[in-house]
């Protein structure tokens, strides 16, 4: 069973939460561009230094940086057994590059699963995460959250149409308890 999926959704929609469950069930490779960038910042790499200011204020990191991360990860053998892309692509140039690259690798996407959650619920989740964690994410403050939503609405949301046109998009109500959302995500990636 081929599972090569993009988990799509606004900040706080539950992409990381659902990806963890898919990894457990199907042993897929999980690539979160946000996690990869945060790791690079912690390690003080040149890429991390370049990305940090964009991330902290809630802006998207330049396409060339994230495309580089994704291609490098997908070139490794692990992608052949299936993968989840979480938080990528986020712009039309990223989606076009990904599409060409995956065709070249013989690994086209099987589904794009969009987690649909209203903005009020999303803000509540992110502020809840900030209140719970000691160190926290620099971009979980209210000013950065607003910019993250703006970037999503202007640059990322148009990709739903892009994937709808390719017959890949599956929309799921993500404003339900985690396990209920997962049942729907699982069914979608299994093509049910
Ligand atoms: P990224 O790390 O991708 O963050 P994000 O998209 O803002 O999303 P989050 O991690 O906040 O949310 P999520 O959807 O994963 O939800 P989660 O499961 O964590 O990106 C961060 C930054 O990196 C970007 O702003 C940008 O600067 C840069 N970046 C990354 N990718 C890029 C790209 N491709 N191009 C350019 N720049 C890029 O859940 C959130 C919270 O809700 C948790 O507390 C969780 O426990 C809770 N929760 C989850 N599901 C439920 C549920 N069903 N009910 C109740 N609570 C729930």
pLDDT digits (tens, 9 = 90+) for 6-40: 999 999 999 999 999 999 999 999 999 999 999 99
How far is residue 114's CA from residue 162's CA, in Å, rounded to a whole number?
A: 13
List, for the chain, all residue ranges whose pLDDT scores fall below the cut of 70. Answer: none
pLDDT score at 77: 80
Ligand 1 atom nearest to CA at 7: 14
Cβ burial of 112 (10 Å; 0-12, 13-18, 19+) is buried
Known active-site residue 130: no
172: β partners: 115
47: left (phi over 0), alpha (psi -120 to 50) or beta: alpha
pLDDT score at 25: 96
pLDDT score at 79: 93
pTM tops 0.85? yes
Do residues 125 and 17 touch, judged by C-beta distance below 8 A? Answer: no
Any atom of ligand 1 within 6 Å of the Cβ of 60: yes
Do residues 138 and 57 touch, judged by C-beta distance below 8 A? Answer: no
Ligand 1 atom nearest to CA at 181: 53
How far is residue 87's CA from residue 151's CA, in Å, rounded to a whole number?
A: 13
Greatest Cα-to-Cα distance within the chain, rounded to the nearest angstrom: 44
Q: Whose CA is nearest to atom 48 of ligand 1?
A: 14
38: β partners: none
Task: Choose among 163, 148, 143: nearest CA to 58.
Answer: 148
pLDDT score at 109: 98
pLDDT score at 177: 98
pLDDT score at 1: 83
Ligand 1 atom nearest to CA at 176: 53
Q: Whose CA is nearest to atom 23 of ligand 1?
A: 34
Known active-site residue 15: yes
Known active-site residue 90: yes
Task: Choose among 23, 37, 33: nearest CA to 83.
Answer: 23
* Active-site pick, 4, 38, 148, 170: 148
Cβ burial of 77 (10 Å; 0-12, 13-18, 19+) is exposed
The crossing angle, in degrees rounded to 10, of helices 92-105 and 63-75 is: 20
Any atom of ligand 1 within 6 Å of the Cβ of 13: yes
């Amino acid at each position: 069973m081929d599972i090569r999926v993009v988990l799509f959704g606004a900040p706080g929609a539950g992409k990381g939460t659902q990806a963890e469950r898919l990894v457990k069930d199907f042993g897929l490779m999980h690539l979160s561009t946000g996690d990869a960038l945060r790791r690079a910042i912690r390690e003080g790499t040149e890429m991390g230094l370049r990305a940090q200011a964009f991330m902290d204020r809630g802006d998207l990191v330049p396409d060339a940086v994230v495309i580089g991360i994704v291609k490098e990860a997908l070139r490794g053998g692990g992608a052949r057994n299936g993968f989840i892309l979480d938080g990528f692509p986020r712009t039309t140039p990223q989606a076009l590059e990904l599409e060409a690259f995956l065709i070249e690798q013989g690994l086209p996407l099987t589904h794009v699963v969009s987690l649909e959650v209203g903005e009020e619920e999303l803000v509540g989740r992110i502020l809840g995460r900030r209140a719970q964690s000691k160190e926290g994410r620099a971009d979980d403050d209210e000013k950065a959250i607003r910019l993250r939503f703006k970037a999503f609405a202007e640059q990322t949301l148009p990709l739903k149409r892009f994937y709808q046109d390719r017959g890949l998009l599956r929309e799921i109500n993500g404003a339900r308890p985690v396990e209920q959302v997962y049942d729907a995500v699982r069914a979608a990636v299994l093509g049910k």
